[in-house]
């Protein structure tokens, strides 16, 4: 288990922490945040590339806060593979083993096992300059695993890869995690968190602002920033009216009135409408949904999975529907459509 206690690092104009973090053995933990939030700095502190000003880091009960990087039993995979250009790929993969004075036969055995696993045996005699992005990242993974680490640190390893290469590397990472390797994976991409994470934390301006399963972050964002990181587009500033005897509340979102459930006593805040719970129809019909609006389609975007529809109901609203539904509704810009959603699809977040 990795445990971070009250970790702080100070720079001019930026402060990381104090951070508290626990990652259990075998977990794939994703730290989600935008550029400049401090997520890569967290990895560097854990890896031993930098040292904290305050706080402690424990790995399996051992205090490693001030240990040099080579004594931490951790491997680091960078966003851009940091391979030694003057060494062959074989020599790159076996580099840490050579430093540990492991005999040549054992090094050859380990390197060939890893190269077969990542389908790079035919590349071992080449130098990194001849590798594609995906090949270089596979060599980097093999090099990281050659030292048989207790913990794998991943710094946006998929960012620079194309769709097919991302798919391949996801397969390798998932397979490694299922075999028991513990991982801390930083990214700005919520889709990666959904695909990988057992647990995910959102970091902003050096502080962790929410932790939970990715589904929890999506369904119950703590604030507008988490909602945006989680991929929500439908969030609006508005007024929440005082409760009545009815458990339903009413809110004004820039002149559009919606029904929702909310226990807050605040009267202003952020409202998030789940785009996956909005139903589009040709005509207004009687349903159990508490919110029905006439709208005009603004844009129709076909995605890898499903269709994103932007419509104007007095506010700009995004919804995700299936391709079959989009075709049946004959959606196009300018078309009139009805949007319905339940009160439970609306979340209220206090400022």
Count Cβ neighbours within 10 Å for each residue of 100-128 and write b for 16 or more, e otherwise.
eebeeeebeebbeebbebbebeebbeebb
3 state DSSP class of 244: coil
List the chain domain ranges: 2-229, 235-350
Q: pLDDT band at 51, cuts 50/70/90?
A: very high
Q: Are 179 and 30 in contact (CB under 8 A)?
A: no
Amino acid 252: pLDDT = 94
Q: Which of 20-29, 185-194, 259-268, 273-282 has the lowest mean pLDDT?
A: 185-194
Q: Are 42 and 203 in contact (CB under 8 A)?
A: yes
**279 pairs with which residues across the strands?**
340
Strands (E), 241-286: 249-253, 256-260, 268-273, 279-281
Give the integer Cα–Cα distance in Å for 27 and 115: 25
2-229 against 235-350: fold identical: no
Q: pLDDT band at 351, cuts 50/70/90?
A: low
Give the integer Cα–Cα distance in Å for 82 and 105: 26
List, for residues 104-135, the tens digit of each pLDDT value. 888 889 898 888 888 889 989 989 888 887 78
Q: Which of 88, 101, 107, 89 is nearest to 146 (CA)?
A: 107
List, for residues 61-82, the tens digit of each pLDDT value. 899 999 998 888 888 888 777 8
- Rounded to two decimals, the pTM is 0.70
Superfamily holding 2-229: P-loop containing nucleotide triphosphate hydrolases (3.40.50.300)
CATH of 235-350, one of 3.40.470.10, 1.10.10.2120, 2.40.50.100, 1.10.10.10: 2.40.50.100
Give the integer Cα–Cα distance in Å for 52 and 333: 54
Which residue stretches of the chain are H helix? 39-47, 89-93, 95-99, 104-117, 133-146, 163-178, 190-196, 214-219, 224-229, 323-329
The two structure tokens encoding residue 91: 């020599």
């Amino acid at each position: 288990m990795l445990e971070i206690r009250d970790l702080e690092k100070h720079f001019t104009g930026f402060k990381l922490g104090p951070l508290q973090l626990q990652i259990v053995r075998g977990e794939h933990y994703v730290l989600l945040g935008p550029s400049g939030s401090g997520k890569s700095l967290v990895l560097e502190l854990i890896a031993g590339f930098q040292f904290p000003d305050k706080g402690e880091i424990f790995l399996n009960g051992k205090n490693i806060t001030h240990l040099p990087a080579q004594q931490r039993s951790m491997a680091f995979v960078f966003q851009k593979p940091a391979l030694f250009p003057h060494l062959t790929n074989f020599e790159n993969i076996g580099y840490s083993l050579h430093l540990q004075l492991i005999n040549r036969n054992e090094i050859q055995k380990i390197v060939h096992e890893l190269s077969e696993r990542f389908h790079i045996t035919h590349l071992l005699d080449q130098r990194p300059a001849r590798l594609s992005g995906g090949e270089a990242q596979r060599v980097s993974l093999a090099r990281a695993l050659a030292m048989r680490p207790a913990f794998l640190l991943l710094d946006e390893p998929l960012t620079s890869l194309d769709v097919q290469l991302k798919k391949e590397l996801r397969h390798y990472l998932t397979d490694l995690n299922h075999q028991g390797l513990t991982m801390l994976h930083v990214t700005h991409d919520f889709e990666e968190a959904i695909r990988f994470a057992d647990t995910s934390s959102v970091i902003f301006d050096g502080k962790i602002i929410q932790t939970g399963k990715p589904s929890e972050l999506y369904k119950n964002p703590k604030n507008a920033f988490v909602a945006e990181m989680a991929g929500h587009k439908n969030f609006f500033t508005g007024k929440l009216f005082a409760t009545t005897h009815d458990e339903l509340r009413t809110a004004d979102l820039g002149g559009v009135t919606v029904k929702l459930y909310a226990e807050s006593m605040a009267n202003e805040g952020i409202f998030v409408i789940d785009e996956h719970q909005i139903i589009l129809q040709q005509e207004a019909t009687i349903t159990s949904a508490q919110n029905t609006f006439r709208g005009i389609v603004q844009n129709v975007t076909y995605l890898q999975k499903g269709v994103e529809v932007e419509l104007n109901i007095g506010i700009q609203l995004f919804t995700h529907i299936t391709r079959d539904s989009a075709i049946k509704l004959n959606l196009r810009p300018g078309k009139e459509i009805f949007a319905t959603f339940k009160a439970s699809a609306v979340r209220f977040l206090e400022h």
